[in-house]
Amino acid sequence: KWLAAVLTRVDELLGIPHGSPMFLHGVFAMGGMSKECLESKFKVFRSFGWSESDILTLARHNPYTLALSEFKLKQGLNFFMKVLDYRPADIASCVCILTVSLERRVIPRNAVIEVLKEKKLIRPNYRVSSCLSLTEPKFFNRFVLP
């Protein structure tokens, strides 16, 4: 009964089809979450101006995002949307953007990117989301050491 409810939630509420490679990830992400809890997470996104379509796009790309705490979601959405001026579509298209650590990865890397922009060493429209999935050594080799 519980599993059937989770499978239904992933398929019907998130719109992740059974045949999709993301379906199993959706099941794991939704496994410990009630329908009410999921709706509460959706409300967080809506409070930042997200449409249902934007939320579902994000959920289909990375269902684990919905398993984050409301605090972490608000913190990430606030930083990316209010500080860096990202749109919902920008965030939804970047798989790891909300799941990586804001304090340990996003903010330090953004500071490096901003310095490089000021010195005109990278293009002015370069966005920090482009380097979030890089490992620490790859980031250092590409942006700090040259």
Q: What pLDDT digit, counting tens, does each position of 57-101 carry?
A: 999 899 999 999 999 999 999 999 999 999 999 999 888 899 999
- pLDDT, tens digit (0-9, with 9 covering 90-100), for 117-137: 999 999 999 999 999 999 999
The pTM is what?
0.86
- CA-closest candidate to residue 27, choices 8, 1, 52: 8
Torsion sign (Cα): 10, 13, 19, 23: negative
For residues 17-45, one letter each, b for 16 or more C-beta atoms within 10 angstroms of the residue's C-beta and e for the rest, the string is eeeeebbebbbebbeeeeeeebeebbebb
Could you give the CA distance from residue 31 to residue 42 in angstroms, rounded to a whole number? 17
Structural domain boundaries in the chain: 2-84, 102-144
Helices H / strands E in the chain, number of each? 8, 0
